[in-house]
Structure formats: structure tokens, C-alpha cells
Amino acid sequence: MQRTYPNQFSRFGISDEQVLKHVQDCFHTIFFDPDEKTYTDVDEDSGCMIDTGNVDARTEGMSYGMMMTVQMDRKDLFDKLWQFSMRYMFQKDGPYAGYFAWSVSPEGKHNAEGPAPDGEEYFAMALFMASARWGDGEGIFCYSEQAREILRHCLHQDEMVPGGRAMWDPENHLIRFVPEADFSDPSYHLPHFYSLFARLADPEDRPFWQKAAEASRTYIVQSAHPVTGMSPEYAEYDGTPRLMFGKPFTYYSDAYRVAMNIALDTLWFGPREDTAQIASHLQDFFQGIPESELKAYQLDGTPADEPAMHPVAITAVLAAASIASSSPAADKALLHFWNTPLRRGKRRYYDNCLYFFCLLMLAGCYQMY
């Protein structure tokens, strides 16, 4: 593992050696600690990431695990995760053929048949990076072809599969919450991935991905609150918040990822004034609020009578926001994260996934293969 980008913690005198050790220790906890890991072997040649709060394996977590392992140069674990995904989640027929069932039991039984597009986009990016880092193998381990096939379905499911529907709207270039929906989830928007898909996908689709990158950068700004910087979990194509699943509040678990996504886009493709303002506003709003008092919120900052389910995730993404932010609170957010351990217990899965990605960014180790 090497640093390609700045060690953001060096401003506090924290050395590269200390930071890299922390990265290695956190990776070990997530994948190997007998009491706190979220990864588990399933078959001799497969394994999965467990959502410890819901006791299932999700395409979100599986693709996250693949991104973690390619960043950490663990081809053995990457291949086990991909094998599980193809063996137990990949849909071979019906309107979802070519997609992945978003939730299965740890034994591989489907809890749902439909896909979640954030899984597909992370699968594709992790596979392209695996191809660049380790080279293509055969069959499902021909990583780059598998990635291109996923992206073909994402854009052309309507043409490829009877009764199917694409994951991206062909007119506005925005990712859908699910293929059947005509609205989005701001945290699904990964313009830094789409900019790479514009180089790596099928040549005829590359212009679409470049337009998707710019459309998503615009949408991230459009859907964020102009004062607090908060983004809704779900939003219409014009950025208007959409209430879902009986939640009477808008800034909740999915939405935390927007700050993390802004940070990585900034790290890989450079700063933007509009997204930097979002990062700054978020840090300004949350400055001084202890994790024990974090809530679900309306976008204007009004707290709901509902504790944040993933407070460590909020701490992590606020620190990552320091990559883009100009807020006076940036250093405090960064130092607070350095002094915050991985989450323990039942709800650790989501918090620790975001924690690890944010740590990779801030350590300078989240590389663009």
C-alpha cells in the first residue's frame, strides 16, 4: 500500500507510518477480527460482507468490500466476494437478467429480486480497478469484460432484456433509485466513477458517461440545501426531497455518503467551488455536536425526534469533507475523526464501511487505478 495523495492528518504531526498502520488495522478489523468483522467466508472459494444490523448480504456491501480489497491489494478476498456475488446474487433470467439481487441471506437465499443501482456502479468500478491492478483472468475473473457487461445492462436493459428497464434515465443522464423509479438518490451519484467509465466502458457509451458525470455534479448541488449543505436521502429529478419508507425526515443514513462522494471527486478530479460550499456548510452545521446528540434532520437543520442510526458514519464523512471544504471547522472535523475508533456492535457495518473509505481518502491511499 502506498500514498498517492496527501496525508491529510500530517497537519497534526501524524506521520505517514502512523496513518498507514491505522489503515491496515482497520482493514484487519473489518475482514478478520473474530468479534468485530463484517466479512465472512461462505464457501471455500466465496465470502460475503454481512450487514450486521439486518443480517443479510447486500450489493452495496459486496461491492464496497470489493473496492476495499482492490485498494488494499487483496486479490484473494476480492475474488471470493465476486464469486459470491455471481453465484448467489447475479440474475440469469427475467426482467432483472444481468443485474444483481440487492439482498440475500448469508447463505445466498434471495430476500429480494430487484437490484439497487449503487451496487452495480461500485461493482463495475471495482472490477475495472481489479483489471488495471492485477490483469484479467478467465470467465468471471475477466474483470474488465465483466465491468463492461454490467454497464451495458445499466444503460441498455430495455433493449437487452424483455420487460427490463435501465438504471439511468436516458434523457437526463441521472441514476434512478431503482430501475422502476423516475426519481433518484443523491448519494448514488458518483461523477468520479462516471468520468472513468467514460474512458473504460464500451466506446459507444462513453459520451453518455461523460454527460452523466456532469449531470450528477449538477444534481448534487441542486439537491443540497444552500445553507446547511444537507442532501435528502431520496429526491426527484429536480432535486426536490422525496419522503420514502415512512420517514418524516430527509437527512438520514444514505444521505451521509454525499459528502464522501464530493471528497473523492475532489481528490481525483480537482476542486469545484459549488461542491466545496456543500462540504463547508456541512462542517459548519455539525461543528460541536457530539455523536450522542446527532439526529435525523430536515434539510434546513431542524432535528427530528429520531437519533442518527449511524453517528460514526457522520463523523467519518465530515472528516472526508475536509478534502473539499474551506470551513474553519475542517481541522476539528479531521482531528475528531482521527480520535474516533471504528464502531463496535450490531450496527457497525454501514458506519465502518464509510469509515474505511473516508480513512483511505484522508490517508492519501484511495487510488484511481
Residues taking part in catalysis: 60, 254
Q: How far is CA 105 from the centre of its chain?
A: 21
Give the residue carrying C-alpha cell 436521502. 233
The answer to whether 261 touches 189, Cβ cutoff 8 Å, is: yes
Give the residue carrying C-alpha cell 461491492. 63
Residues 266 and 275: their CA atoms lie apart, in Å, by 9
Ranges of H-type helices in the chain: 16-32, 59-71, 75-84, 117-134, 143-160, 191-200, 206-223, 257-269, 273-286, 311-320, 330-338, 348-363
Q: Is 232 left (phi over 0), alpha (psi -120 to 50) or beta?
A: beta
List Cβ neighbours of 249 (8 Å cut-off, separation of 6 or more): 296, 297, 298, 304, 306
Q: What is the DSSP string of 210-245?
A: HHHHHHHHHHHHHHS-TTT----SSB-TTS-B---T
Measured from the Cβ of residue 319, the count of other Cβ atoms closer than 10 Å reads: 31
Largest CA distance in the chain: 58
Residues 9 and 258: their CA atoms lie apart, in Å, by 22
Q: What is the DSSP string of 131-194?
A: HHHH---SGGG-HHHHHHHHHHHHHHHHHHSTT---SB-TTT-PBPSSTT-SSB-GGG--HHHH
Gap between the terminal Cα atoms of the chain: 13
Buried b (16+ CB within 10 A) or exposed e, 69-106: bbbbebeebbbbbbbbbbebbbbeeebbbbbbbbbbeb
What phi and psi values does residue 96 have, to the nearest 5 degrees? -100, 10
